[in-house]
Chains A and B, each alone.
Chain A
Amino acid sequence: MTPFISVTGPAVPVLLDNVDTDTIIRIERLSTIARKDLGEYAFESLRVSRAGTTTNSPLNLDNFDRAPILLAGANFGCGSSREGAVWAIQSLGIRCVIASSFGDIFFNNCFKNGILPVLLARERIDFLAKNTSAGQSLTVDLVNCTISLAADASPIPFEVNPLQRDMLIAGLDEIEATLSCDSLISAWQQRDQVERPWIWQTN
Chain B
Amino acid sequence: MSAPTTLFDKIWNTHVVKDLGHGWALLHVDRHLLHDLSGTTALKAMEKQGRAVRTAQLTYATFDHAVSTAPGRTGDTFEGGRHLYRGLKSRAVSSGIRIFDIGEPGHGIVHVIGPELGLVLPGSITVCGDSHTCTNGALGSLAFGIGSSESTHVLATQTIRQKRPKNMRVKVEGRQPDHTTAKDIALHIIRTLGADAGTGFAIEYAGSSVVEMCIEQRLTLCNMSIELGAKYGMIAPDDKVIEYLRDKPFAPKGESFESAVENWRQLKTDVGAVFDHEATIDVGQVRPSITWGTSPEQNAAIDGQVPMPDDFVNDARRAAYMKALDYMGLTPGADLSGLRIDRVFIGSCTNSRLSDLRIAAGVVRGRSVAPHVRAWVVPGSEAVKRAAEADGLAEIFKDAGFEWREPGCSMCVAANGETAEPGDRVVSTSNRNFVGRQGPGVRTHLASPATAAASAIAGYICSAGEL
Contact = CB atoms under 8 A, between A and B. Distances in A.
Question: Does A pair with B?
Answer: yes
A178 B316 contact: no
Given A15-B316, A185-B17, 13 more contacts: A30-B415, A31-B84, A78-B195, A80-B432, A81-B129, A109-B149, A112-B150, A174-B153, A178-B153, A178-B156, A185-B157, A196-B260, A202-B98
Interface pairs A-B: 3 shortest CB-CB:
A112-B149, A198-B252, A75-B196
A201 B331 CA distance: 56
Interface of B: 17-18, 20-24, 26, 28, 30, 37-38, 41, 49, 51, 54-55, 57-58, 65-66, 80-81, 83-84, 98, 121, 123-124, 129-131, 145-150, 152-153, 156-159, 161, 163, 165, 195-196, 199-200, 226-227, 229-231, 250, 252-253, 256-257, 259-260, 263, 295, 297, 316-317, 319-320, 323, 413-415, 422, 432, 434-437, 440-441
B346 to A, nearest CB: 21
Residue picked from A163, A184, A189, A199, most chain B C-beta under 10 Å: A199
Contact of B159 (A75, A80, A178): A178
> A-side binding surface: helix, strand, loop or mixed?
helix
A32 interface: yes
Interface string A67-101: 00000011100111111001000000000000001
B277 to A, nearest CB: 15
Contacts of A179: 156-157
8 contacts: A28-B80, A31-B66, A81-B129, A81-B147, A102-B199, A163-B20, A163-B22, A178-B153
Which of B20, B98, B121, B159 counts the most chain A CB atoms within 10 A? B159
A54 to B, nearest CB: 16
B159 to A, nearest CB: 6
B28 A31 contact: no
A97 to B, nearest CB: 15
A133 to B, nearest CB: 16
Contacts of B231: 104-105
A201 B256 contact: yes
B319 A16 contact: yes
Interface of A: 15-18, 20, 22-23, 26-28, 30-32, 44-45, 50, 73-75, 78-83, 86, 101-105, 108-109, 112-113, 122, 161-163, 174-175, 178-179, 181-182, 184-185, 188-189, 192, 196-203
Contacts of A112: 147, 149-150
B80 A103 contact: no
Contacts of B51: 175
